[in-house]
């Protein structure tokens, strides 16, 4: 019974479309050169922006565009940390003064987590 169920059926998919009457987009071959001198080419669309670097699919090396000019690197801003942004608003002396005030309030029980300042309730055992 199982043999009859699979008779004439293929495992996988089959496309019934053909390529007659289909025009492919205009293409170009772009050549890249690896650091060791190995060259490889990549097919790209005519209107595509050609990248300066491309990874060779066979060797995994990064090749540069043959006859291409290396683009200038972008100027990157240094990473601003929280401390840098804080120093833009306040001086170190102001920050030390605020820290002293807040520590005094915290130690006095005026601010902070309530469980640190509540009188503890001990259960009496009967």
Q: Give CA–CA dist 91/24, Å, rounded.
A: 65
Judge whether residue 125 has pLDDT over 60. no
For 37, the token pair is 């001198």
pLDDT at 51: 93
- The phi, psi pair for 56, rounded to 5°, reads -70, 125
**Residue 86 three-state SS:** helix
Full-model pTM: 0.47
Q: And the tokens for 24? A: 């492919």
Please say whether the beta carbons of 31 and 66 come within 8 A.
yes
Q: What is d(CA 89, CA 84) in angstroms, rounded to the nearest whole number?
A: 9
pLDDT surpassing 60 at residue 7: no
Percent of the chain whose pLDDT exceeds 70: 83
Of the two residues 19 and 122, the one the predictor is more confident about is 19
Summarised one tens digit per residue, pLDDT across range 57-72 is 999 999 999 988 888 8
Q: Who has greater pLDDT, 117 or 52?
A: 52
Separation CA 81–CA 25 (nearest Å): 48
Sign of CA dihedral 90, 91, 97, 102: positive
101 Rama sector, left if φ>0, alpha if ψ -120 to 50, beta otherwise? alpha
Segment 94-107 mean pLDDT:
94
Q: Which residues contact 70 (CB under 8 A, 6 or more apart)?
A: 52, 64
């Amino acid at each position: 019974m199982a043999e009859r169920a699979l008779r004439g059926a293929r495992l996988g998919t089959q496309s019934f479309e053909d390529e007659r009457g289909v025009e492919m987009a205009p293409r170009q071959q772009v050549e890249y050169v690896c650091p060791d001198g190995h060259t490889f080419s990549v097919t790209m669309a005519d209107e595509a922006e050609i990248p300066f670097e491309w990874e060779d699919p066979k060797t995994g090396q990064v090749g540069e565009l043959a006859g291409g000019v290396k683009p200038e690197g972008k100027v990157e801003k240094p990473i601003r940390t929280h401390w840098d942004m804080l120093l833009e608003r306040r001086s170190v002396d102001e920050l030390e003064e605020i820290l002293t005030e807040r520590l005094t309030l915290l130690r006095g029980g005026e601010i902070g987590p309530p469980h640190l300042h509540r009188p503890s309730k001990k259960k009496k055992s009967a």
